[in-house]
Amino acid sequence: MGTKRQGYKMQDTGCRYLSCIVNRGSCIGSYRALCIMNQTGFTLIELMVTMVVFVLVMAAASQVFTGLLTQFKQQSKIAETDIEGIIGLEILRRDIEHAGYGLSWVIPAGINYEEASAAEAAVYNDAPNNPPRAIISGNNVTFGWPNAVFNDSDYLVIKATNVARNAPARRWTHLSTGDVKRIWDIANENFVNGDRVIVLSPGTSDANRRSLVVSGGGFHTTYNATDGFADDTETRFIYGINNPADDNPPRMPFNRADYYIWRSHIDPAQDDVPDRCAPNTGVLRKAVIAHADGSRRDILPLLDCVADMQIVYGIDIDTDGAVNCYVNDLEDVLATVDAKNIRDRVRAVRVYILAQEGQFDRDFTFNPPVASGSIRVGELSADLPGGSCTGETVLGRDFKLNGITNWQNYRWKVYTLVVKPNNLREKSRQQTVDSRQETGGRKMNKKVKRFEDLEVWKKAHKLVLDTYRITRDFPFLQHQSEFFGRIEVLSYSIRRSWIFKRQ
């Protein structure tokens, strides 16, 4: 039997055809060998070059991404600081504006009260029997450990019934003959039984104006037990102090809030200051003096990463109601720093706060605006109307940044508050007469039916609209470059900050 030959036509990987007339086994074997010899691919060198190029591209992309992420974090922290400043410093501004609210100008003989117990806070006490000073501060204070880094910063004290954060402290009403009390239209503005209150008599002369009313040897009572504090000849004023659920009975006939820079420990790892804050900075706090024991309680952080605070007073030398000059320390211009002199002379309060914006930035170098390593926490006296009462060149001080490690890599900002205290003294009788003449002797009490009718809302609404108009053409989510990315974050932060403040 002869050998049977079969013909095959095959194609290799080189796309050429082979014809062979062999037996099936030998032909397939030859084809396989030929296919293996003619297969193509990447060499090891080509693979290594490709990997190197890929790594370089990824490294460049990661650098760009890291830079964008860093800028985003910086701008976010700056925006966060700005919002903190708006909210916290607004609380401080409002409290200064209300300094003296509900305070007694006359403490009856034989009535004693207690005040702050902490050593740093007790310096500003008016206890046991002096009329409380509405606003007072320590200039260039020396602090104890671990806050000695804040030496030469100022310490501010405000006394008023409404500086506490409890509900009764925000309330007041009239007390008429027969223990009749005025009830307000808005329910949460009315006292409730058990609220601890004081009663003041309006008086008829400087000798007895705003006298603290005493009954049964006590200067305070509860809202449902004021019958012994009413009078048949005059309408008196009730001011809230605290709530039985909040604290003990009042140790003083007012509330008091202290403002100062604070940190809890010298070791940053054990401190309560945020990690992003520069060394030797702290938290600006508002602390309400507790009626239970005189300690600083009800702590409210106002602003993080604060390095310094300076207080400057606008003084009315001739008591005509206008500021004549400015001073760092009331003791330098007032013969006696008592409640009456403060009411008669202090017309404006300027607060300067040095704080860090954002966080540490190794690519940023801060340029001090005053001198090498210094920044002015205050103003030149020549730049203020009337200048300095005592001939000082700088109101506030020039703060040396050298005590802060790597201070050049932080952004520093000086916040300035200019506040006119509205409750230090009553309107004069002539002002009251003039006001009645202007209104035809009628009591002007126009009710506001909608919040849109409030002047403050109208101004805030206009400000928000103006902000949107100004930032309308700023790029939003359109550009990917670092430059436009910064503008986008800044624009967004401006808009959000004003909306937040408005709310």
DSSP letters, 394-419, are EEEEEEEGGGSTTGGGSEEEEEEEEE
Which letter does DSSP use for residue 401 in this model?
G
Strands 255-262, 153-160: pairing kind: antiparallel
* pLDDT higher than 70, residue 4: no
Query: pLDDT at position 372, please?
Result: 79
Q: How confident is the model at residue 37 (pLDDT cuts 50, 70, 90)?
A: low
Q: Of 462, 363, 466, 465, whose CA–CA distance to 411 is shortest?
A: 363
Say if 15 falls within a structural domain. Answer: yes
Query: pLDDT at position 425, please?
Result: 75
Say if 24 falls within a structural domain. Answer: yes
Cis before 146 (ω within 30):
yes
Residue type, 194: G
More confident residue, 99 or 145: 99
Angle at 339 between CA 322 and CA 262, to 5 degrees: 95
* pLDDT higher than 60, residue 478: no
Strands 211-212, 196-201: pairing kind: antiparallel
Q: 3-state class of 295 per DSSP?
A: coil
8 Å CB contact between 416 and 376: no
Q: 3-state class of 93 per DSSP?
A: helix
> Taking residues 438-463, what's their average pLDDT?
57
Say if 26 falls within a structural domain. Answer: yes
pTM of the model: 0.72
* pLDDT higher than 80, residue 199: yes
Query: pLDDT at position 229, please?
Result: 96
Say if 13 falls within a structural domain. Answer: yes
| First-to-final CA distance of the chain | 106
Domain membership of residue 23 as a residue range: 8-38
Residue type, 427: K
Region of poorest pLDDT, from 178-187, 302-311, 466-475:
466-475
Which letter does DSSP use for residue 346 in this model?
E
Say if 258 falls within a structural domain. Answer: no
Query: pLDDT at position 103, please?
Result: 96
* pLDDT higher than 50, residue 305: yes
Q: Which tokens sit at 281?
A: 């900075």
- Give the separation between CA 89 and CA 497, rounded to whole angstroms: 14
Say if 27 falls within a structural domain. Answer: yes
> Taking residues 434-456, what's their average pLDDT?
49
Query: pLDDT at position 61, please?
Result: 81
Query: pLDDT at position 218, please?
Result: 94
More confident residue, 292 or 83: 292
Q: Which tokens sit at 35?
A: 């296919």
Say if 294 falls within a structural domain. Answer: no
Domain tally, the chain = 1
**C-alpha dihedral sign at 450, 452, 454, 457:** positive
> Taking residues 460-481, what's their average pLDDT?
59
Query: pLDDT at position 244, please?
Result: 83
Q: pLDDT tens digits for 118-140?
A: 999 999 999 999 999 999 999 99
Q: How confident is the model at residue 376 (pLDDT cuts 50, 70, 90)?
A: very high
Say if 34 falls within a structural domain. Answer: yes
- Give the separation between CA 417 and CA 348, rounded to whole angstroms: 10
